[in-house]
Structure 1
């Protein structure tokens, strides 16, 4: 593959759309996870008393369900990514790859 073919692939509208959608999805989910995780760390650093307080005087503190919810959120976000990637991005990727293969073979 030479420079001209690479440039044509990079300028292909379907390839650009695919890259933009994957990037937007990845950064959105990363931002959500980062916001939640940093928020939890700030809570640990600046409001330990809240995390050490318990539900209705019980033995479980607020820190345990909040910590577990971060772990569950990571699995949920992985599921969201997989669902969107499989149902919306894969067809777009296949279309883009067909055009890339046609460019690589020199048919367009």
Structure 2
């Protein structure tokens, strides 16, 4: 079976459109969840730095900005794990079904 024939079968499969749509929507949602806090933090740093400069407690050298930045980074890591988990589960299953149908 030629590669062009398989490609045509895959592209015409409704499951392929479903996979592309689900994966795209999921990636956009996760990207927004990561980027909105990041850019909000950058705006606060540039426009109102005194908000993040206050100390966590009396006598502490750590400001509020450090833990917030750490949470943003950790959140990005966790959301990457969420994407990988779904990609290795649901998206891979759909992909295998599409390939199986295309090879028939």
TM-score, normalised to structure 2, is: 0.85
1:91 matches 2:93: yes
The number of residue pairs the alignment matches comes to 101
* Structure 2: gaps (5+ residues): none
Distance, in Å, in 2 between the alignment partners of 1:28 and 1:84 is: 13
Please give the residue correspondences for 1:1-108 in structure 2 after superposition, counting only pairs within 5 Å: 1-2=3-4, 6-57=7-58, 58-102=60-104
TM-score, normalised to structure 1, is: 0.82
How well do the aligned residues superpose, as a CA RMSD in angstroms? 1.6
Contact 1:18 1:96 in 2 (8 A): no
Distance, in Å, in 2 between the alignment partners of 1:36 and 1:51 is: 14
Distance, in Å, in 1 between the alignment partners of 2:41 and 2:99 is: 41
Q: Extract structure 1 runs of 4+ deviating beyond 6 A.
A: none
* Structure 1: gaps (5+ residues): 103-108
